Structure 1
Amino acid sequence: MASQLREGPPPSMQFVSSGHASHAYQIRPLRASDAAAVRQICCDTGCLGQPVAPLCSDEELFASLVVEPYLEYAQDWGFVAEQDHQIVGYLLGAPPGFDASVFRVAAQATLKMLARAATGNYRDHPQTLQFLHWLLFRSYGERPLRPVHAAHMHFNVRSPERGHFLGLHLWQRFETLLRDRGISHYYGELFSWPGHRPERPYRRYGLQVYDRVSTSLFDSVCDLDIENICVYKRIV
């Protein structure tokens, strides 16, 4: 069951990006009714910022793997960005020690994928079978080290809205929530490759690289040398 929102959640925050009224956004706490939009953004950005379909044709279970633990067990740690009443980005947070919830949901989704693979659902999409193989045999070994006793965050923004500092504003709301709850640091994971090194500009916002490992997750769809990087930040 999803955790309940605290009484008196932080008020919504509005801002105008790049000085244009057409880029007016609102950051507000995540609601249960946002789940479908969050899942869709996850699938629209799940393959190196692009739609996940080339990597995994089963969007339902891909979203279950990536965002369902937060939606089900940490609803009151998340925020969304809206423009014209449409969700265009999200930040899903979680308290320290959240791995058990992630494992529980991921195991259920992986078993469903195995069952669907056994009945031939992915016969015409070998990349999905490769993705499932990666989940079973390589995913654990290709995760970077993470700081202990730290909160966690995962965020995504739709492609048309990137470059308007939505990620920064979502981080700031999340950091305010962490301070209110007495948590001193948090981490997230991101993908980095030649020509796309997000960890570099993130340093100006105080996020540092904690660990980095090579990943084979995207080998079926590209030939880039991709790293999975854990970034972290101390806020108090």
Structure 2
Amino acid sequence: MRVRMYTPKDRERVREICCDTGLLGDPIDPFMPDRKLWADASSKYYTDKEPESLFILEDRNKIIGYLFGCLDSRKEMAYRIWLGPRILLAVLSNLLRARHIKEIRRLLKWTLTKYKIEMPGFPISYAHLHIALIRNKRARGWGTKLMKTYFDYLRKNNVEGVFAQVFKHGNNLSYRFFKSLGMEDFEERDNTLWKDFKHGDVKLVTVVKKF
């Protein structure tokens, strides 16, 4: 097992893992069957605009996880302003072809009525990260190695701090994973986006680490 830097040839596999883990660690398909749309919205900035901050976890020459990084979250937010209309066009294309209507309606309704209420704040000048490992490779210490590699990278780049946003529900281990690495709660909000797919309350928490 090793951590290495991302290369363009990794893009397809990274997008696949992004979709296989998008529903709170499970495949995104029940929530959004259009995998290309999901991968574009979730990963395009990191693979196409800041690949130097993307780390790959590899086991026996097979990619089993990744860490999307961004040194300055303001740059990723600016990119989303550019990407947003293009994602919307893809959504409208699906609607015109009568594809995934139920799923798109659910997402649009939440975005228009709940997004601002249910998304916790974050320190905009900080770096941020998204981490994902395939299911059968989790809880083995490999995610920790990815995170520590990224933290070292951030220190070398003299960033002020880093944040992540993690869902907390049931026996989900993700929140405890971030806490074990010294990240502290910044803000927490109830989140209903996944209510049709996960039992019990779901909360979205911004966790931060200062350097």
Same fold (TM over 0.5): yes
**Structure 2 Cα separation of the partners of residues 106 and 224 of structure 1:** 31
Is residue 2:146 matched to residue 1:160? no
Cα distance in structure 1, aligned partners of 2:177 and 2:41: 28
Q: Which structure is larger by alpha-carbon Rg, 1 or 2? A: 1
Match of 1:65 in 2: 41
Q: Indicate which of 96, 100, 125 corresponds to 1:122.
A: 100
1:1-236 equivalent positions in 2, closer than 5 A: 25-96=1-72, 97-98=74-75, 99-123=77-101, 126-196=102-172, 198-235=174-211
Kindly state the Cα deviation for residue 89 of structure 1 after the two structures are TM-superposed.
0.3
CA distance in 1 between counterparts of 2:40 and 2:11 reads 11
8 Å CA contact 1:210, 1:230 repeated in 2: yes
User: In structure 2, do the counterparts of structure 1 residues 140 and 110 end up closer, same or farther at CA, with 3 Å as the change threshold?
Assistant: farther
- The unaligned stretches of length 5 or more in structure 2 are none
Counterpart code for 2:82 = R
Equivalents in 2 of 1:128, 1:166: separation in Å? 35
Q: Distance in 1 between matches of 2:40 and 2:111?
A: 13
Q: CA deviation at 1:85?
A: 1.1
Q: CA deviation at 1:133?
A: 3.0
Moved over 6 A (4+): none
1:141–1:111 distance in 2 versus 1, CA, 3 Å: farther
Quick check: 2:91–2:104 contact (8 Å CA) kept in 1? no
Q: CA deviation at 1:197?
A: 5.4
Pairwise CA distance, 1:128: 4.0
- Aligned-residue offset at 1:137: 4.1
- Whether contact under 8 Å (1:199, 1:208) holds in the other structure is no
Structure-2-length-normalised TM-score: 0.91
Gaps (5+ residues) in structure 1? 1-24
What's the % identity of the aligned pairs?
Answer: 23
SS in 2 for 1:149: coil
Q: Hey, what's the Cα distance between the residues in 1 that align with 2:85 and 2:141?
A: 34
Task: Work out the CA distance in 2 between the residues paired with 1:62 and 1:140.
Answer: 20
Cα 1:188–1:113 change in 2 (3 A) is same
Q: CA deviation at 1:105?
A: 2.1
- The total of aligned residue pairs comes to 209
The separation in 2 between residues aligned to 1:102 and 1:190, in whole angstroms, is 20
SS in 1 for 2:128: strand
TM-score of the aligned structures, taking structure 1 as reference length = 0.82
* Alpha carbons 2:32, 2:100 under 8 Å: kept: no
Structure 2 CA distance for partners of 1:168 and 1:175, relative to 1, 3 Å:
same
